[in-house]
Structure 1
Amino acid sequence: MSISNQLFTKLSDTSKRQDLTSLGATEYLEIDNRRLESFEVTERKVNETKELGGAKIYTISGINKETKISKTITITAYTLHPDLLTTQVTYINLSDRDIAIKAWINQAYTISSQREETPFWAFQGSSSSERADWIKPVTPGYYQKNYMGMNNSDYGGGIPLTDIWNPEIGITIGHAELNPKLISLPTEMKKYDNEVSVSIRQDFSYPQYLAAGDTLKTLETFVSIHSGDYYNGLTKYSKLMQAKGIQMPEPEPFAFEPIWCAWGYERNFTADEVVGTLPKVKELGIKWAVLDDGFQLAEGDWHVNQDKFSKGDSQMRELVDEIHAQGLKAKLWWAPLAADPGSDLLKENPDMRLYLSDWAPQYITWWDAYYLSPSHPQTIQHTQEIVNLFLNQWDFDGLKMDGQHMNAIAPDYNPKAGLEYPEQGSEKLPAFFKLIYEQAHTIKPHAVIENCPCGTCMSYFNMPYMNQSVSSDPTSSWQIRLKGKTYKALIPNTAYYGDHVELSDNGDDFASSFGVGAVLGTKFTWPKDNPDASGSYLLTKEKEVKWKKWFSLYDQKMLSREIYRGDLYDIAYDRPETHLIQKGDTLHYAFYSDSWDGKVELRGLSKGQYIVRDYVNHREIAEISDQTNKLNIQFKDFILLEVYPK
């Protein structure tokens, strides 16, 4: 990065001796109806620190003579995090007048492309009810705001960065704070342009004044450059955040075991249906049985519904005992922070709910429920009691925490929440999930805690408090694969669950989970469907042959526990789409395309000769070497290959 005497900056790739952006104002204020961009440099300093393995700190100050606002930009270059710079900007109003501030903007870059078709792809880390793909092609006319707060009543939060890439360039920007912040990361390519603009901005309620003599400090933000696709940008970000104090969970062996979920029977399931399916679950080699939504009195009232469990809570314990008697582990569905308006919980404790600025409730649409205030002492006590009920009294071995509402909350105006300011409620939300995670492991040290935020781009700050990530209601096999690549960039050793195979293309695409190293799962019904279910997930004889094949293969390979090499293939530009998992000296390649007839390149080979084998269909394909690592193949939909030394 180079900085001019007006505090304009430019990104360059020194290894390629190439400018990546043009010189411009990348950190500035919006005041009144204009940008405050130009500041005449008055001082430059360089210091060093031993923090995070050592860094150089560049401090450059300047002043805008017209407004008498000073600007100091602090840029930190960490030795252990090459090609990444963090930035924090301080503005001081040195005039004798208050100045209206609309927003601050950091890391504002415009990147050009010479590519006519699909100039860029982008990772977009925000969440909304659209449940859109997390990575998208960026073509003329593209715009996404990427607000990290609530974008719909119960959708918000995410991963606070944007990554823009093509085969020539990759740039990542985001904030580097240790908790969620209400910023936006707008991404735009105008209709008749071939350049994309990105930035980080925090907007203020207007008018907000920077008083004479007062200081405005931005969040700590970052920019990094990389080769390859967004996986490499996300990896750099997560390594920095973990160095700063974010502690990702250690892998839990039980979390890699395959899963059957009773959701195929849906809310009107019966206990007899669940128990009757367990022998078939065991026969297929599946290790987990999950009881889903429908056991409870109401959201918030988590004891059993006696219309379904006539003997009350003791019957739930009997069900768990039966699951254990089959040699299976038991996981229970739960929607923490949700409470129905008519629940006993809210009748007895109406002030537990989250309050908006007008004292209205915040709605959770799927369950017609209200948000509870996660910082409220009664919410915390209630949550602790429920975790004890589920894992101690009922003896479940894990929790499937479910709902898009878990990803973020609106600013919380509940006066009993003990917050210094309403936005602190969203910043402290990860502490709520930390509470659950720690209590669960106090009761059961090997508890599997799944966070399933229903189609959202999961909040990075909730990730430390789960030990099983999930594709979370994917709308396609493509989403299963791209979400797997995303989680494995951020949490390399995570147990990533591909969700029910019935949610994949054609309802039977095990290969998409298998090829990205995902845990296999299913929600089949057997020997018949629940008559009130919305669809059929019956395990027919034909399906059973396929299900047995894939679950047996999963047990043999256990690729979900191995090293995912997401750095070697570009998910957007390499064709066919390719994923690679390394298990010892054997490389497992997964290729995906509607139809393919041509060459593929087997990257990542060490020196030597190799055998290429289609391990799904048990056939040897070719012999290759690291010097001749391309071969012609034909397939439809997918082919999974293992390549091992001769």
Structure 2
Amino acid sequence: MKHLTIRITALTAIMVLIGCTSDTDNNIVLSIEHGALTYEVNGNLQTKITSKIPTSKTLTPHFQPSETIEVNGIVIDRFNYQAVQEDSVAGEMSGKQWVIEGGFENEGISILKTVRLRAYDSFPDLISTQVTYVNTSSENLIVDQWSNNAYRVPAQNDAPPFWAFQGSSSSARSDWVKPLEAGYYQKNFMGMNDSDYGGGIPVTSVWRKDINLAVGHLALVPKQVSLPTEVHSNPIEVRVGVQEEFEDHTLFKPKDTIQTLETFVSLSTGDYFANLSKYSKLMQAKGISMVEAEEGAFEPIWCAWGYERDFTLDEVIGTLPKVKELGIKWAVLDDGFQIAEGDWNANPKKFPQGNKEIKGLVDKIHDHGLKAKVWWAPLAADPDSKVLMEHPDSKIRMENGAPQYITWWNSYYLSPTKEATIEHTKETVRLFMEEWGFDGLKMDGQHMNAVAEDYTLEHPEESVEGVPGFFQMIYDQARSIKPNAVVENCPCGTCMSFYNMASMNQAVSSDPLSSWQIRHKGKTYKALVPHTAYYGDHVELSDGADDFATSFGIGAVLGTKFTWPDDNPKASGSYVLTPEKEKVWKKWFDLYNQMMLSKGTYLGGIYDIGYDRPEGHLIQKDGIHYYAFYADTWNGPISLKGLDTDKDYAIRDYFNNATLGEISGKDPVYNGSFNDFLLLEVTPK
């Protein structure tokens, strides 16, 4: 079989006690080679991971208890090997499968452990794990947690020792990609972490300069598990894994079975891009279907949020000529038009003539040759909103009976699988797109990423697992009304749920706290949904409130929330489009419309966003390489990776329209200096 060899040996008469060493610790009962990944299992059903990549160093120096269960307060990490069986896996997900059995008996505890390992033909360097535990004792046991793919990886004198991508969400709105030092810990719980923050991408990817190791789970719906990341000292090593903790002691009766999720370990070189891309492709092969790209989603955007909630119709309409003049294609009506979250009709205090005034605004936007998008916070409903007055049972109720609360709007969560929520949502989409005529939806709010368990349901976890289907319903409804509708999902500040990505055709950096966040969020989306438009959000949220270069260089859609004109008393401060700023804005939007790098191919595996300096990104479009480099200040050699060694190239700084000379693909090093950014067009001669 391509990429795959195996070796199986037998063991006899193994006795193992908790915490004791054994002569079976290094006795290998199964060895799998899948691409560059060697996966070994010893007689205690512990594992060792080795990389065959020539430049890689030690990953796991010893066999480790990667799959464990905590019973009666004791972590059981050694099981006596009993048998192994190898089978082929047929169908679209073809490959090989091994089922290994082992047993544990000590002090009245008797458990049978069965480990199923899979190596998929189309996904080398990745092996998945699913474990089943059976209580073979005569007594009830208490189970607190299980853990899969738990590894300790030593540092190799890099500075910093490790970088990591972590896919969890919290109110801290912290970086998804960050350096790790000794003493670091992050739980990475995939359920609710705060009142309205939760969910994410169930993958942790940690790397050194020589190797990247990723772990995660492969369930097709969100699951409330953790992927903790911890860095220890003496020696410095990073610990990762996937674990489920049971909130209440779970009774494990005789002959009962506990089965873990299917989890995985995957290797790559470079930063997290390759492993995250592989994960997404595997999940799609398993059945998650990503929607097609939409042409209009790549067009630049102006949002009325610069005027915030107290905007007036005159302000929005008065800005449209300048929006068109700058070459922007979309105008977005943001928060503040509605009666309440949960009653999305026009607020009569702002619109005395009601809904027809918003319909008139959409007509004005269209008259200017622009497309119109409307802001919306689905799943949010104010306590006195129409939907909750008519359907009070549509909201989520947590285990203590209280409704789940959304802090930003002082609202309650609607339960995504309840019929009243679904019908209310469909009616809202019809209002926006049929009655008012909007061309797209800006779904917004950190609360959209995940929900709590709804204890009014027979199976409370159905609300958690039903969120992706809710957003798919919105996408289908919007596209049934307007076949080219752009559906943006903007979970403010959170690490977006991978499962919700399947029903949007425009991703967004969603309230970034820095240009660094715009860039690494863009790299993340381009790994997971590479064909989908990625919007860098309002440039006013970037460093200096004017860092168009960050979005431009990584192939993101440009956007702004400027206010205009400058004699408007409300159009003051950092958002006003002054004549000086207008020249800069005009240059960037003209350049964007000419080059459309957002439609190019982002080559995320070329540069390591953690260790390479200066920070580099590469887009290929129409046979031309477009490089973007970022640093506060740089003066020295810059490696132009990814060029053909048998070609010569001309180099141009396309932002400043300056010819910089030529370079050979055999020695692609350019000596240059810049502050903040350098954007290069490298064309074969």
2:250 corresponds in structure 1 to: 208
Q: SS in structure 1 opposite 2:473?
A: helix
Give the whole-Å Cα distance in 2 for the aligned partners of 1:34 and 1:478. Answer: 43
1:155-304 residue pairs with structure 2 within 5 A? 155-304=197-346
Q: CA deviation at 1:533?
A: 7.8
Pair 1:381-2:423 in alignment: yes
Aligned CA distance change for structure 1 residues 549 and 365 (closer, same or farther; 3 Å) = same
1:563 corresponds in structure 2 to: 601
Q: Which amino acid aligns with 2:193?
A: N
Q: SS in structure 2 opposite 1:2?
A: strand
Q: Which amino acid aligns with 1:5?
A: G
Q: Is the 8 A contact 1:142 1:191 kept in 2?
A: no
Pair 1:587-2:631 in alignment: no
Pair 1:540-2:582 in alignment: no
1:511 corresponds in structure 2 to: 549
2:658 corresponds in structure 1 to: 619
Aligned mate of 1:486, from 518, 524, 528: 524
Aligned CA distance change for structure 1 residues 536 and 628 (closer, same or farther; 3 Å) = closer
Deviations 1:530-557 (A, max 9, x none): 7568954110000000000000000111
Q: SS in structure 1 opposite 2:244?
A: strand
Pair 1:42-2:104 in alignment: no
Pair 1:437-2:475 in alignment: yes
Give the whole-Å Cα distance in 2 for the aligned partners of 1:171 and 1:321. Answer: 52
1:415-430 residue pairs with structure 2 within 5 A? 415=457, 420-430=458-468
Q: CA deviation at 1:529?
A: 7.6
Q: Which amino acid aligns with 1:303?
A: N
Q: Which amino acid aligns with 2:314?
A: D
Give the whole-Å Cα distance in 2 for the aligned partners of 1:588 and 1:136. Answer: 25
Aligned mate of 2:408, from 361, 366, 373: 366
2:180 corresponds in structure 1 to: 138
Q: Which amino acid aligns with 1:26?
A: S
TM-score, with structure 2 as normaliser = 0.92
Pair 1:455-2:493 in alignment: yes
Give the whole-Å Cα distance in 1 for the aligned partners of 2:365 and 2:504. Answer: 23
2:682 corresponds in structure 1 to: 643
Q: Which amino acid aligns with 2:203?
A: L
Aligned CA distance change for structure 1 residues 534 and 452 (closer, same or farther; 3 Å) = farther
Pair 1:609-2:648 in alignment: yes
Q: Is the 8 A contact 1:141 1:192 kept in 2?
A: no
Q: CA deviation at 1:367?
A: 0.5
Q: SS in structure 1 opposite 2:261?
A: coil
Deviations 1:291-328 (A, max 9, x none): 00000001111000112111111111111011001000
Give the whole-Å Cα distance in 1 for the aligned partners of 2:430 and 2:158. Answer: 58
1:60 corresponds in structure 2 to: 100
Pair 1:633-2:633 in alignment: no
Aligned mate of 1:399, from 425, 437, 441: 441
Q: CA deviation at 1:341?
A: 1.0
Q: Is the 8 A contact 1:29 1:104 kept in 2?
A: yes
Q: Is the 8 A contact 1:105 1:202 kept in 2?
A: yes
Runs of 5+ consecutive residues of structure 1 not aligned to the other structure: none
2:4 corresponds in structure 1 to: none
Q: Which amino acid aligns with 1:481?
A: R
Q: SS in structure 1 opposite 2:432?
A: helix
Give the whole-Å Cα distance in 1 for the aligned partners of 2:377 and 2:464. Answer: 18
Q: SS in structure 1 opposite 2:575?
A: coil
Give the whole-Å Cα distance in 2 for the aligned partners of 1:228 and 1:581. Answer: 17
| RMSD between aligned residues | 1.3
Pair 1:553-2:603 in alignment: no
Deviations 1:388-434 (A, max 9, x none): 0001110000000000000000111124xxxx411121011111001
Q: Is the 8 A contact 1:101 1:206 kept in 2?
A: no
Moved more, 181-190 or 522-531: 522-531
Q: Which amino acid aligns with 2:86?
A: V
Q: Which amino acid aligns with 2:358?
A: M
Give the whole-Å Cα distance in 2 for the aligned partners of 1:572 and 1:366. Answer: 33
Q: SS in structure 1 opposite 2:559?
A: strand
Deviations 1:118-167 (A, max 9, x none): 11001010000000000111100100000000000000000001000011
Q: CA deviation at 1:117?
A: 2.6
Q: CA deviation at 1:52?
A: 3.0
Give the whole-Å Cα distance in 1 for the aligned partners of 2:347 and 2:566. Answer: 23
Q: CA deviation at 1:32?
A: 2.3
Pair 1:148-2:190 in alignment: yes
Q: Is the 8 A contact 2:564 2:571 kept in 1?
A: no
Q: Which amino acid aligns with 1:40?
A: N
Give the whole-Å Cα distance in 2 for the aligned partners of 1:181 and 1:207. Answer: 19
State the identity %.
57
1:24 corresponds in structure 2 to: 64
Give the whole-Å Cα distance in 2 for the aligned partners of 1:520 and 1:414. Answer: 43
Give the whole-Å Cα distance in 2 for the aligned partners of 1:273 and 1:19. Answer: 62
1:341 corresponds in structure 2 to: 383
Q: Is the 8 A contact 2:294 2:486 kept in 1?
A: yes
Pair 1:525-2:573 in alignment: no
1:6 corresponds in structure 2 to: 44
Deviations 1:226-248 (A, max 9, x none): 10101111011111101111111
Aligned CA distance change for structure 1 residues 18 and 59 (closer, same or farther; 3 Å) = farther
**4+ aligned runs moved over 3 Å, structure 1:** 15-19, 528-536
Give the whole-Å Cα distance in 2 for the aligned partners of 1:352 and 1:188. Answer: 40
Q: Is the 8 A contact 2:623 2:683 kept in 1?
A: yes
Q: CA deviation at 1:376?
A: 1.1
Q: SS in structure 1 opposite 2:360?
A: helix
